[in-house]
Structure 1
Amino acid sequence: MTLHADLRVARGAFRLDARLVVEPGEVVALLGPNGAGKSTALRALAGLLPLSGGHIRLGGQAWDVPPEVFRPAERRPIGVVFQDYLLFAHLSAVENVAFGLRARGVRRAAARAEAARWLDRVGLAAHAKAKPRTLSGGQAQRVALARALATGPDLLLLDEPLAALDAATRLHVRAELGRHLRDFPGHTLLVTHDPLDAMVLADRLVVLEHGEVVQEGAPAEVARRPRTDYVADLVGLNLYRGTAHGTTVSLDAGGTLTVAEPATGPVHVVFPPTAVGLHPARPAGSPRNAWRVTVAGIERHAHTTRVRLDGEPPVLADVTTATVADLRLRPGDELWAAVKATETRVYPS
């Protein structure tokens, strides 16, 4: 059964108008900046927010078709893992997992037995009697996942499931979550702002901006060919729009770039910040793109330094600490940026 969701929700001045399709066994990640409509979409799918228009259907079952049909949350076969997990503090781990089963009418003994089985599956059998306050963040996340899966949902909704974890725990729990999602036969929607979570866990990405889908596709395709500034920033690329005439692209925002692959008409041009060289004077030699820039900002990024540069076009450059020291980079400094044509990638806009 395929999940078809035509999500149209009006909330004050905000409008969500997005279509989602999720196949059985597929993990779809919904990404977007704050205010894009991710939480609204999740709440609509969960039955916590009725649609203003459109529909939600799973196979032949209608969940929300306004104004005729609205199936409330308790009547939808869903499991939800929230960002803060929302475990019941007064219940043990096994009682938390059994809660959803008990709410669906399963007898206490059978619910506890099934809950224990799920705790064993997520590696927490030894913590069955533990209260949430004694669990680590990673353990609490696994209890919440077991609780969501124990009822055998058709749709699993994950709302920023790794956001509350520290970096070291996140790495381990992400891998663990990925293993469980691969075994889950139902439909999974992962709402996240973290590109790494999306790239690692999802089969397909759907990007929302201002309540609308602006790009979707396999993670590798979205990473290679971003279509908006938000997506380009998400995957760490410089993105420009322009008009191509052979190997020359006239950029919409000013300036030109020489590219290696000839093209015609409206295009996007991308290249990574690591492809940008910075020089005190106009460079000679192989770079075929060189233009004057002014340092607008300097940020430390792990083992590199990201330099924001104003110019035609503006550009991000990732350079080594040694380069920062050699050039004595400061905001306001004037430099030359250089990018080889072979480092650029061009595709239709």
Structure 2
Amino acid sequence: MAFRFNFSIEESESNEPDTHDKTELQLGSPRRWQEPTAGSRPAADAAADHSPRLATDEHQDAMPSKKQFCLKAAKEHDIPEDVNQALENKVVEMVSGLYHVNMSVVETTVLDGSHGEDIVSKSVSSHSDLIPGIYEGGLKIWECTFDLIDYISETEMQFTDKTVLDLGCGAGLLGIVALRGKAKAVHFQDYNSTVINEITLPNAVANCTVDGNRTGSGDDRKTSKPPSKRLKKAKCLPDLLTKCRFFSGEWSEVSKLLLSSKKPFSKYDLILTSETIYNPDYYSALHDTLSQLLDKNGRVYLASKAYYFGVGGGVYLFEKFIEERNVFRINTVKTIDEGLKRFIIEMAFKISS
């Protein structure tokens, strides 16, 4: 398939990765796994121990600490008038029926640190996929993202005319699924501006524009299958991309930016987030962000592993935290027992109708 941009598309023989056999999908060549530390985002159940371990009672005794981190300022990222710019020098691949840029190419592009944050070289030098306050894992598609995509497909979740936030978006696949599901507006947030500029925004553009033609909302595409090689020419591009806004920065700072912005802002009907509860130190900021940005009748769908070795977070501890705050009701809507136990949980305000 030829693209009318300075990038190319690559397809594997299967077109569809066996995602459930992996703890995460890195967009590029894999790095050697190392023992998780307090500064790493662990997802190595398969690499470290083929007999999955779940959280035990001793893990539940410790609630999130009161550590304070430097707040990374929030920034909104503009969509370039010439969308070719977002796709320059990108190699586009396919996963779960969605286009995404190949991270190995992105890493080569930003390795010299000229893009500001220098997160790639710092990640490599520290042998970690997460450096708290510097890099929060946006250069990977984490395993639970695919769990939530599957759940969206299985339940035929409706996005029509809804406002959606992909929180901690990374590659932005959850938001892109909502976009092609005819959402009214889709916003993407990641901690790192490099991730938004080099991965999220290009992915959104790639799923709206192919071979110089504009793709439709994806009605002819199933979540579990690659899109047809013959893509339809449908709605004009502005009708799709102008539904999107892109933000980088720490959660509380993004909340302040949205709530104080002169631009019209409606609270979200749906907030989708995957593997954002790995660090208990972030629970308070996450809880406050959800409570500030979710519509009174909205829903949060969060995908997570039972327990994250090395940093101590996970579903059990997060549920305890939410229950003690007494703002949201929380419900497990799906359990995945393959590998390390994983969950999809639904959250809504206790006062919602």
* Normalised TM-score (structure 1): 0.27
Task: Compare relative contact order (CA 8 Å, sep 6+) and give the higher one, 1 or 2.
Answer: 2
- Rg bigger for which structure? 1
Q: Which has the higher strand share?
A: 1
- TM-score by length of structure 2 reads 0.27
